[in-house]
Amino acid sequence: MSDLLPNHLAGRWQAGRGAGTALFDPVLGTELVRVDNSGLDLEQGFEFARRQGGGALRAMSYAQRAGLLGAVQKVLQAGRDAYYEISTANSGTVQRDTAIDVDGAIYTVGVYARLGAALGERAFLLDEAAQSLSRDGAFQSQHLLVPGRGVALFINAFNFPSWGLWEKAAPALLSGVPVIVKPATATAWLTQRMVADVIEAGVLPPGALSVVCGSSAGLLDALRGFDFVSFTGSAHTASLIRSHPAVAERSVRVNIEADSLNSALLLPGQDDAALQLLASEVVREMSVKSGQKCTAIRRVLVPESRLGDAVQAIVGGLRELRVGNPRNPQASMGSLVSREQKDAVLRGMDELRRHATVLHDGAAQPLLDADPETSCCVAPLLLGLPDAAAGDGAREVHEMEVFGPVATVLPYRDTAQAVELARRGGGSLVASLYGSDATELAQAALRLADSHGRVHVVTPQVAQSHTGHGNVMPQSLHGGPGRAGGGEELGGLRALRFYHRRSALQAPGAVLDALPQGID
């Protein structure tokens, strides 16, 4: 039996009392480690984090907490090689995909360290300017943002065990709020190792960072009214969280990122340069992390007149992919993270095949250095639908997300219909636009903004400098309305607002002027 990873709670390492759940190599099928949290005193652990971790963090200024993040970044940089090995073994990722998760996490921590340093020695933030409440201006109202006194519980998804932790933890810790992370079981090893390295380095106060691996049972029960919960995962689980007494009765603040059927849209009248940019991005988004990204392109919207050209360009890129063992340097695409995910993706692909035409099926090509019976590798599948607005298949394509390497090409008549089709996703994390006319792109972007958390616009002029449809940058908002969960993360310093409490201070101007600006 493999080693049982310990949890860190209440300021100490604790092993679960059970045999644990095994984590596997999704390519070789070998057991790696086990996780278990049965028997842990969650109430005690959460209270320790609130009292010890939160108290120590709130006693610091933003600049001091930014210094902690800088120290965390150095610890993560030192462990980078080990994290790459764990990611390959437990997530089945090729080096490019591991970099997005691991290096993206390290970069994000560094961004918030720099942002926090610029906030200086302040103990709170001002929310806009003071407003007069009296005719003579002597009595005023000033809205303050003060760090919350609760704990932040993160229930994370399986696809980004590194970035998924630190893109949430960096703003929380900078805000002065302690963190307890419950990683998805299938890929919990990397999260646990990163937390262990940071804790063992002693760069954070006791209780500021904790990790609980295994079952999520009882975690929400331990939350209190001033706590926070941030969840990334399925819409079904999100609904359970929203209806839990911690949220519904105790008013725990909640942030949700759920399903998302993202779109890539080629505007009418474009030359081959813009079309090729769209095709390259579709191929990249289908293959990076084997399509296991909440921001991946699921629907490709192209003018009816360019449908054949777009399909030809995308298929040409997909044919160059080599799917298989990420340890083989010739592999450009690895595996899904588990047998459970592979089965779910294959079922979803079969369902979409019933309603759409297969334009390219990579399964015809043999896997590279991987056993198809043992490994969780799934080749890209590109589908097409003659009528994207009506008829058989339209509902499924716009409503069914298959969390793997699959996308559907959809023709449209004009820009108005293209925007309407993108909106059929019911609210998405991101849509990308491809074209060359700045006015047309700006107008289309504005029309998509109400139903998308991010609109990514690409022209031939930024072909080498744009950050990518699916790449989430810490400077920009991550989240989306409707079925995407209605949440918001990142966005620079905007992320801190979730972990702060807004309070209106009504007082004479002299009292407002006397507010302490720093930590004594």
Task: Give the pLDDT band (50/70/90) at residue 394.
Answer: confident
pLDDT digits (tens, 9 = 90+) for 326-367: 999 999 999 999 999 999 999 999 999 999 999 999 999 999
pLDDT digits (tens, 9 = 90+) for 97-127: 999 999 999 999 999 999 999 999 999 999 9
| Phi, psi torsion values for 251, nearest 5 degrees | 60, 35
Strands (DSSP E) along 376-424, which ranges? 381-384, 406-412
pLDDT digits (tens, 9 = 90+) for 420-457: 999 999 999 999 999 999 999 999 999 999 999 999 99
Q: Domains of the chain (ranges plus CATH)?
A: 4-258+487-513 (3.40.605.10), 262-473 (3.40.309.10)
User: Dihedral of CA 110/229/92/15: which sign?
Assistant: positive
Q: Are 330 and 368 in contact (CB under 8 A)?
A: yes
Q: Are 251 and 226 in contact (CB under 8 A)?
A: no
Q: What is the pLDDT of residue 1?
A: 62
Q: What is the pLDDT of residue 200?
A: 98
Q: What is the pLDDT of residue 25?
A: 97
Q: What is the pLDDT of residue 517?
A: 76
Tell me how far apart the alpha carbons of residues 30 and 379 are, in angstroms, rounded to a whole number. 21
User: Dihedral of CA 30/198/101/261: which sign?
Assistant: positive
Segment 139-152 shows an average pLDDT of 97
pLDDT at position 393 over 90: no
Q: Are 490 and 429 in contact (CB under 8 A)?
A: no
pLDDT digits (tens, 9 = 90+) for 466-499: 999 999 999 999 999 999 999 999 999 999 999 9
Q: Which residues of 195-208 are buried (b: 16+ CB within 10 A; e: fewer)?
A: bbbbbeeebbbbbb
**H-only helix segments in 79-187:** 80-91, 95-119, 163-175
pLDDT at position 391 over 90: no
Q: Are 421 and 476 in contact (CB under 8 A)?
A: no
Task: Give the pLDDT band (50/70/90) at residue 386.
Answer: confident
pLDDT at position 520 over 60: no
Q: What is the pLDDT of residue 519?
A: 60
Which DSSP category does 192 fall into? H
pTM for the full predicted model:
0.96
Active-site residue, 294 included: yes
Task: Give the pLDDT band (50/70/90) at residue 390.
Answer: low
**H-only helix segments in 121-234:** 163-175, 188-201
- What distances in angstroms separate CA 160 from CA 165, 168, 170, 421, one per listed residue? 8, 12, 15, 29
**294, 377, 401, 488: the active-site residue:** 294
pLDDT digits (tens, 9 = 90+) for 261-317: 999 999 999 999 999 999 999 999 999 999 999 999 999 999 999 999 999 999 999
**257, 285, 488, 489: the active-site residue:** 257
Segment 490-512 shows an average pLDDT of 97
Structure tokens at 82: 């080990």
Q: What is the pLDDT of residue 221?
A: 97
Tell me how far apart the alpha carbons of residues 250 and 461 are, in angstroms, rounded to a whole number. 51
Instruction: Please give the share of the chain, as a percent, with pLDDT higher than 70.
Output: 98
Residues 6+ apart with CB under 8 A from 161: 87, 90, 91, 101, 183, 184, 187, 188, 189, 190, 191
Please return the burial class of 128, using the count of CB atoms within 10 Å of its CB with bins 0-12, 13-18 and 19+: exposed
| Phi, psi torsion values for 490, nearest 5 degrees | 55, -140
pLDDT digits (tens, 9 = 90+) for 15-59: 999 999 999 999 999 999 999 999 999 999 999 999 999 999 999
HSE value, Cβ hemisphere, 13 Å, CA-based, for 364: 9
Task: Give the pLDDT band (50/70/90) at residue 500.
Answer: very high
Q: Across the chain, what does the average pLDDT equal?
A: 96
Segment 162-174 shows an average pLDDT of 98
pLDDT at position 508 over 70: yes
| Phi, psi torsion values for 142, nearest 5 degrees | -125, 125
pLDDT digits (tens, 9 = 90+) for 124-137: 999 989 999 999 99
Segment 169-194 shows an average pLDDT of 98
DSSP assignment of 20-87, as one string?
A: -EEEE-TTT--EEEEE--TT--HHHHHHHIIIIIHHHHHTS-HHHHHHHHHHHHHHHHHTHHHHHHHH
